[in-house]
Structure 1
Amino acid sequence: MQFIRQTFESFRFAWQALRSNLLRTTLSLLGVTIGIFAIIAVFTLVDSLERNIKDSLSFIGDKVVYVEKWPWSFGGEYQWWKYFQRPEPSMNEYKFLAERLETAQAVVALDFKGRVTIKQGNNSMSSLIQGTTFDYNKISDVPIEQGRYFTQQEIDNARNVAIIGSDVADNLFPGQEPVGQSFKLNGLNYVVIGVQERKGESILNVGGNPDIKCLIPIGAFAKMFHSINPSISIAIKGYDDDQGLLELESEIRGLMRTRRGVRPTQDDNFAINRPEALAQAIGGIFGVLTVAGWVIGGFSILIGGFGIANIMFVSVRERTNIIGIQKSLGAKNYFILFQFLFEAVLLSLVGGLAGIFFVYLLSFMNLGSLDLQLTASNIILGLGVSSVIGILSGIIPAFSAARMDPVIAIRAK
């Protein structure tokens, strides 16, 4: 009980000391405020970017690989002259893989055409047209807000039906129910069977923004945009127990090399692309940003820590007589120690809270597609770093105060 009372007294002494020297307190916590702001702002930015990019990658699928002509490049030399000579993946190869792959949940053929004008009455807009096969919703997120998904018969018969994005629905059918209505695409009527949920703006719209996209059967797509055999991407989803999709990739490589007659001494004439490679490349950039935030914020916090330590030494010297009186009245060394240590920690926490508050204000700024969110983990991190800085800055002055001889301290001027 006595310990709790003395601890409370230590907090009260610390608070009174900070209030009595408001200007000095404010100046000393600026370094901690700037440091915590720099670190938490960078962490908040990185977390928000990662969340935004993961949301974008969800639309190209999890545990999915893409068989294509061109490899995705994330640095290093890009040998385009070798890739240029490769054949395009074809519908026959898609069917070949769909029939034979044993380590795949779904195999899908995809093709795209951007900036295609679609019309409905006097309304028109530029849209991204994507042709796909039936299992597309197994490899990618297709949240249907209104209507339904394709049927197998619609895909097999290449019917003129479409699942449209929310922006397409708003532009072509303002104030109307889109499902069941038709629009013009390359002079042909397409009936809307479904509308996707709004995704909103995103920094990384991999595979195209679903809000401006029209999904149609790949057979209908080929009739409009390809006179001969279309060039496609083949998306293949693996099983969860296939760690790293190594079995799936090995089986794909073997089947594709067999199908194309690639000799054992020859390199692959196709690319197996992975979305997670993109995430890893971006993660490397995030790692650099995080280190930069720690370095920049660390210097500011270091300066702030020295400032707090200096203020604490001054505070100890100013209150030497009071320390002597407290010790002569029976105050224990730990009471004096806690008194000054709590003052340093409280000072540092106030600076940290100020830095976190400025990051919170920053989260209200309009940064376009980037939605900044200050998370609880970053708040706890900021408070934790502030507390550690306070302890390290105040421990030596607190020890020096606790070890004073009461007789000498009372006589001090």
Structure 2
Amino acid sequence: MLALRLTFESFRFAWDALKSNLLRTILSLLGVTVGIFSIIAVFTIVDSLEANIRSSMNFVGDKVIYVEKWPWTFGPDYPWWKYFNRPVPSVREFQELRQQLSGNNNGIAIFAAKNGNTLKAGSNSMSDCAVLGVSYDYRVVSSVPLATGRYFTNQEMESTRPVAIIGATVAENLFPQGEPLGREFKLRGLSFVIIGVMEKEGKKLLDTPSNDTNVLVPFGAFVKLYGLSTTGLGDGPSPRIGVKGRNEDAGLLDLEYEMRGVMRNIRGLKPRQEDNFALNRPEMIAGQISKLFAVIGIVGGIIGSFAILVGGFGIANIMFVSVRERTNIIGIQKSLGAKNFFILFQFLFEAICLCLIGGLAGIMLVWLVTLIPQDALPLAMSASRIILGLLISVGIGVIAGIVPAVLAANLDPVIAIRAK
């Protein structure tokens, strides 16, 4: 109890000292405010940029392996022209994969896309829309966030009914007034009934494909409209097969190994023959993004630390001045029985209080900046960054105040009382 009371008294002395020199206190904490603002602002911008880029890449899905003709990255030892001879995935291969793959997946889907379509509904029309033909498990492989309506049924998929799920922008343009559900639009002369409308995504940072201008239709209906490519060289839409992995399969290594074996068996490849298909994973992109932003975060932290360093020197300088000004008071306190740790805590708490107030002010400034509407890059400050800012503030306070506090605690009371 005595130690707690003395600690509280040390804190009270420190607070009184800060209030008695208000102007100096404000000037001292400005350096810390600028420093914390700089480093937390840098981390917030980096975090927001990474989150927006990852959000822009959501269209490729998560924990999914895609069977395609072309790989997403070309190896240095593999001539690019060899890929031309590869066949594209087919409906038969999709059916074989669905039958032969074990339970090491959450779903498998085949889908294809056709861009540059014009949709008409009465006197309204919209051009440059993307039409996607999808199988039933497409919503497992890729996100289909519905604002209203429902997803396709198995019966609609098997009978290739002319039903569709449209994006928010498509709904706004074709049906500016009224509910689009149950209404029809024409695509290449064929009428489709709308059964669902997807949530609005808005513009993405990288201008990647958005559901807002997409139209989803059953895969069979899509094939009737556009056909499918057999070569992947522009003779029609090229289908892709996506397989959703399970969370317990770290890195999807088990699923990839099984898919490679099944695909090689389906295509009749001999043991010494190279794969004539690509297994692409979004984790390839996610890993590169993580590495890139880890480097950016380190560089940003180093840049912001210089501002923190300046603020720390400012606090240390003020604490040395404070010890010199209050040397006489320290001598009186020690002569009345104050312990060394009481004097040490008194000045250490003063430095920490200064840095915490400055840190809170810097964090508040960053938060105010995040409130400014930003179309290109919406900013958001996470709780972890707030905690990081406070911890840095406390650390700077300890580092800047420890030497002056130790000097004050070790003063000889007789000499200190005589000081002027």
TM-score (norm: length of structure 1): 0.91
Q: Which residue of 1 aligns with 2:170?
A: 168
| Mapped partners of 2:374, 2:292: distance in 1 | 19
Q: Which residue of 2 aligns with 1:144?
A: 146
Structure 2 spans left out of the alignment, 5+ residues: 231-236
Amino acid corresponding to residue 292 of structure 1 in structure 2: V
Contact 2:181 2:194 in 1 (8 A): yes
User: 1:97: how far off?
Assistant: 1.6
Aligned to 1:257, the other structure's residue is in SS state: helix
Q: Aligned pair count?
A: 412
Aligned to 1:84, the other structure's residue is in SS state: helix
Q: Which residue of 2 aligns with 1:342?
A: 349
Contact 2:43 2:301 in 1 (8 A): no
1:368 aligns with 2:375: yes
Contact 1:43 1:293 in 2 (8 A): yes
| Mapped partners of 1:124, 1:84: distance in 2 | 38
Q: Which residue of 2 aligns with 1:12?
A: 12
Amino acid corresponding to residue 386 of structure 1 in structure 2: S
Q: 1:260 to 1:319 in 2, by over 3 A?
A: same
Structure 1 spans left out of the alignment, 5+ residues: none
Of residues 173, 182, 204 in structure 2, which corresponds to 1:180?
182
Q: 1:167 to 1:109 in 2, by over 3 A?
A: same
1:45 aligns with 2:45: yes
1:301 aligns with 2:301: no
| Mapped partners of 1:227, 1:281: distance in 2 | 32
Q: Which residue of 2 aligns with 1:31?
A: 31
1:212 aligns with 2:213: yes
- The more displaced of 345-354 and 195-204 is 195-204
Q: Which residue of 2 aligns with 1:331?
A: 338
User: 1:281: how far off?
Assistant: 1.0
Contact 1:179 1:193 in 2 (8 A): yes
Q: Which residue of 1 aligns with 2:233?
A: none
| Mapped partners of 2:11, 2:166: distance in 1 | 62
User: 1:213: how far off?
Assistant: 1.2
Deviations 1:160-187 (A, max 9, x none): 2101122221221123111110012122
Aligned to 1:117, the other structure's residue is in SS state: strand
Amino acid corresponding to residue 121 of structure 1 in structure 2: G
| Mapped partners of 1:364, 1:77: distance in 2 | 49
Contact 1:35 1:296 in 2 (8 A): no
Amino acid corresponding to residue 277 of structure 1 in structure 2: M
Taking the TM superposition and a 5 Å limit, the aligned residue runs for 1:4-403 are 4-56=4-56, 59-73=59-73, 80-102=80-102, 103-125=104-126, 126-203=128-205, 208-226=209-227, 229=230, 230-368=237-375, 370-403=377-410
- The more displaced of 394-403 and 255-264 is 255-264
Matched-pair identity in %: 58
Amino acid corresponding to residue 129 of structure 2 in structure 1: S
User: 1:392: how far off?
Assistant: 1.1
Contact 1:38 1:293 in 2 (8 A): no
Amino acid corresponding to residue 68 of structure 1 in structure 2: E
Q: 1:16 to 1:88 in 2, by over 3 A?
A: same
Deviations 1:85-120 (A, max 9, x none): 322222222222222222333221111122322121
> Superposition RMSD on alpha carbons, in Å?
2.4
| Mapped partners of 1:43, 1:153: distance in 2 | 50
- The more displaced of 170-179 and 337-346 is 170-179
Amino acid corresponding to residue 241 of structure 2 in structure 1: I
User: 1:5: how far off?
Assistant: 4.3
Q: 1:262 to 1:182 in 2, by over 3 A?
A: same
- The more displaced of 14-23 and 270-279 is 14-23
Amino acid corresponding to residue 403 of structure 1 in structure 2: N
User: 1:47: how far off?
Assistant: 3.2
Q: 1:370 to 1:228 in 2, by over 3 A?
A: closer
Deviations 1:7-26 (A, max 9, x none): 34333332333344444333
| Mapped partners of 1:201, 1:321: distance in 2 | 65
| Mapped partners of 1:321, 1:338: distance in 2 | 17
| Mapped partners of 2:189, 2:78: distance in 1 | 40
| Mapped partners of 2:414, 2:37: distance in 1 | 44
| Mapped partners of 2:116, 2:338: distance in 1 | 79
Amino acid corresponding to residue 145 of structure 1 in structure 2: A
